[in-house]
Amino acid sequence: MQIALIGWQSSGKSTLFSAVSGSAPAHGEEAHPGVALVPDQTLDRLFDLFPRTKKVNARVDYLDVVGLAPGQKRSGIKRALVNHLQGATVLAPVIGVFQHGPRDACELVEDARRQLDDLEIEMLLSDLATAEPRLAKIEAQKQRGQEIDEFERQALRRCIEWLDEERPLRTLALTGEEEKAIRGHGLLTRKPLLVTINHGEDQDGATIRARAREQLAAEQRRVIVLNAALEAEIAALDEEDRELFVTEMGIETPAADKLIRAGFDLLGLIRFFTIGDDEVRAWPIAEGADAVAAAGTIHSDLARGFIRAEVVHADDLIRLGSLSACREQGLLRLEGKTYRVADGDLLYIRFAV
C-alpha cells in the first residue's frame, strides 16, 4: 500500500510525512518516498510468545510530493508529478486550516471543503489530460483498421463524459472489463481518498473532527482530522516520553496509526500472521482472500504446491499460550484452499513442490 500525500503548498504534507514515516521530507524534489511499519500489538505479543530472530511488521509506503501553487488554479497537476501519483494506491489530500487561527469550527470545515473541491478539480483536469490523448490514439488506430481494445475505448469515453461534468471517477460504476482496461492508466480521481485536515493548536479539533466527518466523508473518501505539527513533535520523542505525552494531551492515537488504519479500511485490507524458523511476521491481504491467496502472498511456491493450511486465530493462541493447548480445544484447524482468511489468523501452510 502506498499513500501519497498531496495538496496545496504549505498545508503540512511534509510535516505529516515526517510524523508518520520518521524520515526527512521532500526537499526540492518532485516526490520523496518513505516507509512506515504498521504498529501491531498482536504481532508484538506473538513475538513474545515465539521469540525468533526477527519481527516483521506489515509496511506502508508513503510519498511526500511538492504542493500545488495556489495561483495555478484550473491548470491541472504537472505531468511529472502525475506520473509519481499514478502508482499510489491511496491519495491523501492534506488540507491545512491551521493558518486561520482560532476561528469557528464550521467556518474552518467550510474552508477545508473549498480547498478540497479545488484540489479535486486539479485532479479531474489531470485525468482528462491522461484520458483524452489516449482515447484519440485508440480512435485513430481504429480508423486505420488496427485492432484495439473495445473495452478500453468504451471505458475512456465514459470516463471523459463523467469528468466533463466535474465528477470524480470514484463515483463512476464501470464494468469489470472496463475497469481492467483502464487500470494501468492510474487515473487519480479513481483512487480512494484519505482526506487529512490539519488544524492548529489554537483550534477546536474535536468539533472540526465531528463536523468534517459528517460533511466531507463520502464513498471511497475517509476523513481524518489531526494537528500535524503536534504529531511530528510526538513522533520525535522516544517511546517512554511519547506514551506519557499522548496520555497527557488526550490524543486518541498517533497520526501514523490513524492514517494506516483508515488506509487499510479504505482498501479493504486485513492482516494475517506467520511464524517461521527465524521470523514472526504480519502480512496485509485483501479482505475475502482465500488460503491459497494468502500462501501466494508469502511465496508463489506455497500457492502452487498448496495442500492445506493449519489455522488458529492469534487471539486464541495468545490467550491459551501454546499451539498444543489450541489443538486440544479444537481451535487449531486444518483448512483447504477455499478457506476465507479472517483478520488476525495465524497460518501454517503445508505445501509440496
Ligand X SMILES: Nc1nc2c(ncn2[C@@H]2O[C@H](COP(=O)(O)OP(=O)(O)O)[C@@H](O)[C@H]2O)c(=O)[nH]1
In angstroms, what is the C-alpha Rg of the chain? 23
Q: Which of 31, 38, 47, 67 binds ligand X (CB under 6 A)?
A: 67
Give the residue ranges of DSSP H helices in 165-267. 176-182, 205-216, 228-236, 239-249, 255-267
- The yes or no reply on residue 11 touching ligand X (CB under 6 A) is yes
Measured CA distances, 49 to 28, 79, 102, 114, 124 (Å): 46, 50, 49, 51, 50
- From candidates 1, 3, 12, 196, binder to ligand X by CB under 6 A: 12
Binding range to ligand X, per CB under 6 A, among 5-13, 255-263, 290-298, 344-352: 5-13
Binding marks (x or -) toward ligand X, 140..179, rule CB under 6 A?
Answer: ----------------------------------------
- Say how many residues touch ligand X, by CB under 6 A: 15
SS3 content of the chain, % helix, strand, coil (to 5): 50, 20, 30
Of 42, 227, 274, 297, which lies in the binding site for ligand X, with binding defined by CB under 6 A? 227
Q: How far is the CB of 228 from ligand X (least distance, A)?
A: 4
Minimum CB separation of residue 184 from ligand X in Å reads 29
Rounded Cα–Cα distance for residues 42 and 198 (Å): 30
Q: Which sign does the torsion angle of CA 78, 84, 86, 88 carry?
A: negative
Going from the C-alpha of 153 to that of each of 128, 167, 248, 287, the distances in angstroms are 14, 19, 57, 31
Q: Does 203 bind ligand X (CB under 6 A)?
A: no
Interacting residues with Mg ion between 8 and 37 (CB under 5 A): 13-14
Query: Least separation, in Å, of the C-beta of 13 and Mg ion?
Result: 5
Please report whether residue 98 would count as binding ligand X according to CB under 6 A.
yes
Q: Which residues bind ligand X (CB under 6 A)?
A: 7, 9-15, 67, 98, 198, 200, 227-229
